[in-house]
Amino acid sequence: MANYYYAKDDKTQGPFSLPDMEVLCRTQLKPDTMVIRDGEQEWSKCSEHPEISGLMPKLEIPLLNLYPESDASPCCPECKKKVAPDALRCPSCGKQLAEEQTVVGIVAAIVLALIICAVAWSLIPH
């Protein structure tokens, strides 16, 4: 079985068998990584090598769809740009987002409830 080599940091890595190269294609090698096989005179890009190119994962389309912009992600009420669900401030305009206001609102409601209880307690005859 022929041996294959690839170039990394200007050093030749190898030899690798074709099954080795298949694993490397999935893990290390990029489409523009240079590869050569025993008997070949010229280095080729992984994406252009007759055998190696067939081993490269077809990642272009799935990669683009890995992090789809979900319509469920919240929008900034100020500038209408999408923001991360856990963002406390809009990265675009700096507006404080609803989530933090909700926390403040809950705290305010608890404090208000405690005040009402204290007033009610002081009003009822003991």
Pick the stretch among 14-22, 51-59, 82-90, 113-121 that binds Zn ion (CB under 5 A). Answer: 82-90
| Cβ–Cβ < 8 Å for 36, 4 | yes
Among 84, 93, 104, 112, binds Zn ion (CB under 5 A): 93
Q: How far is the CB of 75 from Zn ion (least distance, A)?
A: 8
Q: Does 76 bind Zn ion (CB under 5 A)?
A: yes
Question: What is the C-alpha R_g of the chain?
Answer: 30
Q: Does 92 bind Zn ion (CB under 5 A)?
A: yes
Please tell me whether the peptide bond between 62 and the residue prior to it is cis, using omega within 30 degrees of 0: no
Residue 122: CB partners within 8 Å, gap ≥ 6? none
Among 35, 55, 90, 97, binds Zn ion (CB under 5 A): 90
The rounded distance, in Å, linking the Cα atoms of 24 and 4 is 11
Q: Site residues (CB under 5 A) for Zn ion?
A: 76, 78-79, 90, 92-93, 95
